[in-house]
Each structure stands twice: as C-alpha cells, then as structure tokens.
C-alpha cells in the first residue's frame, strides 16, 4: 500500500453526522422549528416543510464544522 493513500480523506462524505451530539443538534433543531411553525400557523404540512429545510441546513452546517 502506498503511504500517501493511508491518511487520505475519502472522496465522498457521509450524508448524516457521525457523532451522537451532532445528531442530537440536528434533531433538536428540526423538532423545535417544526413545532414552533405548527403552533404559530396551525398547519402541519408547511410546518413539516420548514422543519425539513432547517434540518437540511443543520446537517450542512454540522458537516462543515
């Protein structure tokens, strides 16, 4: 095996965070935003859409960190 390949980074990153704290952060942001929008508007589908959008952004932010 070439020594340069041993410490190289994988080409593709995983979709979800690896650490349980990172997953907890993403789940909590999704839940709080979904419940908050649902309480304010009373509509389930838009609340779920906003929650999914916030979850996707949180996954991206956690992966960058």
Q: Is residue 37 part of a domain?
A: yes
Alpha-carbon span 65 to 21, nearest angstrom: 13
pLDDT tier, 7 (very low <50, low <70, confident <90, very high otherwise) = low
pLDDT in tens, 8-64: 666 656 666 677 888 888 899 999 999 999 999 999 999 999 999 999 999 888 888
Q: Is residue 1 part of a domain?
A: no
Q: Is residue 27 part of a domain?
A: yes
Alpha-carbon span 10 to 54, nearest angstrom: 27
Helix axes 20-41, 44-64, angle to 10 degrees: 150
* 29 touches 58 (CB < 8 A): yes
pLDDT at position 19 is: 79
What's the number of domains the chain is made of? Answer: 1
Expressed as residue numbers, the domain containing 20 is 16-64
Q: Is residue 4 part of a domain?
A: no
Q: Is residue 57 part of a domain?
A: yes
């Amino acid at each position: 095996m070439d020594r340069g390949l041993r410490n190289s980074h994988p080409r593709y990153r995983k979709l979800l965070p690896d650490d349980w704290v990172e997953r907890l952060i993403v789940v909590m942001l999704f839940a709080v935003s979904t419940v908050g929008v649902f309480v304010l508007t009373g509509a389930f589908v838009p609340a779920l859409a906003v929650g999914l959008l916030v979850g996707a952004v949180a996954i991206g932010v956690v992966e960058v960190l």
